[in-house]
Amino acid sequence: MKTIAVEDKYAIPFFKKLQISIERGEGVYVWDEGGRRYLDFTSGWGVTCIGHANPVITRALCDQAEKIIQNPSSGLTYSPPRAKLLELMGSILPGRLEYVFFSNSGAEANDAAIKLARKVSGRTDIISTHKSFHGRTISAASATGQAKHREKFNPLMPNYRFVPYNDLEALDAEMDNQVAAMILEPIQGEGGVNISPEAYLKSVSDICERNGSYLIIDEVQTGFCRTGPMFAIDGLDIKVDFLTMAKGIAGGFPIGAFAVSEEIARGIEMGDHGGTYCGNPMGTAVSYAVIRYLLDNNISEHVHTISGAIFRELDRWKKEYADLIVDVRGRGLLIAIEFNNAADAAAIYAGCLDQGLFVNITQEKVIRLFPALNITQEETAEGLRILEAVIAGRRDK
């Protein structure tokens, strides 16, 4: 196929690609160039939260493109779609997070948070967790607790330290007056869907506050109803200084954001950060439309319902396929099925693709399911039927 041949010839080969060229999508389905239909249980890697080609997004894009797609002098001028989005975000952001800046991606949002935490605190060190993932720019990779994303790129940014996830003793021991910030995912997505208990998050927040260190919560993967609530940390009594966002924020349009508290905002000065496309009219118009859709359609409630149905099935599978499945876990529509070994997970992943179902594989043994948040009961059941048949087939081998 021409697309595959051309990409293989000219694109830098960073990924071992599937031999599938996707031409279009609608809702939870996508079609390849040959017209074959697939069910997408990855939502484009946790991004297309309101489905592919959602008319809400198309309309926002077209309406805004007809007006303006980049302001004169970039961020030096005001922008109605940006103001609208800022106001809406003000009504959904947790806790004391009041001020927002838009980035182009999750990694960039984390970069900026780390950079500003150092500046505002006057300290140098960042604590992160083993198995975390914060992005692929050099400082986000430096904050990422997985060797494969780090070790080939030495020297990384200095003064990053790592502690095991969910280990308060290790964190307490690592804290000192050089620590500018701790960066933490409330649920580690790329790390295999590892969940931190509320008590851990509360204690991390307390330890950071006691030590005069800031807390950067990375909700790039968990934000915008992925785990049910608008943010995974909603309702928790924790002191968050930075919240970083991307992925679901605009349903597939590339934009990220970070929010900061009043205290951080006071320590930031003119010129400390910026970016040519940051907060551009297209991204902010789409993000506004997506967040409105999430709110107006009570997607949070829908996620709880669908998640409940999926976990009823997965709990049964855990018993029925106990020889293959080690664990099922997750929250909302960020779900992991952990298999005994990498060979089983790889075979099941490939088997699903054969049957027209995209799932995701992470940490070698974990099949991750993160479909669009507006997936229907029927579409969910269709995906689970395929997945179970493939698992059952593997067991019978």
Ligand X SMILES: Cc1ncc(COP(=O)(O)O)c(C=O)c1O
E strands, 145-245, are 160-163, 179-184, 187-188, 194-195, 214-218, 242-245
The nearest distance, CB 106 to ligand X, in angstroms, is 2
Given candidates 111, 185, 234, 379, which one binds ligand X under the rule CB under 6 A? 185
**Shortest Å distance, C-beta 57 to ligand X:** 17
Contact stretch for ligand X (CB under 6 A) within 27-35, 72-80, 183-191, 338-346: 183-191
Please check whether residue 171 is in contact with residue 163, taking contact to mean a CB–CB distance below 8 angstroms: yes
What the block records as the tokens of 321 is 């396929």
Nearer to ligand X (CB atom), residue 126 or residue 220: 220
Q: Within positions 245 to 264, which residues make up the interface with ligand X, using CB under 6 A?
A: 246, 256
Query: Burial level of 4, CB count in 10 A (0-12/13-18/19+)?
Result: middle
Cα–Cα distance measured from residue 60 to residue 289, given in angstroms and rounded to the nearest whole number? 7
Cα separation, 235 vs 233, whole angstroms: 6
What are the beta bridge partners of residue 181?
126, 214
- Check binding of 220 to ligand X (CB under 6 A): yes
| Residue 218 is a catalytic residue | yes
Task: Estimate the crossing angle of helix 281-296 against helix 80-92, to 10 degrees.
Answer: 40
Separation CA 28–CA 129 (nearest Å): 33
Do residues 318 and 327 make contact, with C-beta atoms less than 8 angstroms apart?
Answer: yes
* CA distance linking residue 178 with residue 164, whole number of Å: 19
Among this protein's residues, is 133 annotated catalytic? yes
41 is catalytic: no
**What are the DSSP calls for 116-160, one per residue?**
HHHHHHT--EEEEETT----SSHHHHHT---GGGTGGG-S--SSE
Marked catalytic residue, from 111, 218, 241, 344: 218
Query: Helix H segments across 262-298?
Result: 262-267, 281-296
Nearest residue to ligand X, using CB? 106
Of 41, 101, 102, 133, which is the active-site residue?
133
> What is the footprint of ligand X within residues 263-322 (CB under 6 A)?
none
Q: Does 111 bind ligand X (CB under 6 A)?
A: no
- Smallest gap from residue 319 Cβ to ligand X (A): 31
User: Does 112 sit near ligand X (CB under 6 A)?
Assistant: no
- Of 41, 247, 339, 365, which one is the catalytic site residue? 247
Rule CB under 6 A: say whether 190 interacts with ligand X: yes
Nearer of residues 213 and 221 to ligand X, judged by Cβ: 221
Pairing between β-strand 325-331 and β-strand 214-218 as defined by DSSP bridges: unpaired
User: Which among 102-110, 145-153, 194-202, 352-360 is the span making contact with ligand X, rule CB under 6 A?
Assistant: 102-110
Contact call for residue 218 and ligand X (CB under 6 A) = yes
- The CB-of-394 to ligand X minimum distance in angstroms stands at 27
Binding footprint of ligand X on the chain (CB under 6 A): 105-107, 110, 133-135, 185, 189-190, 218, 220-221, 246, 256
Catalytic machinery residues: 133, 218, 247
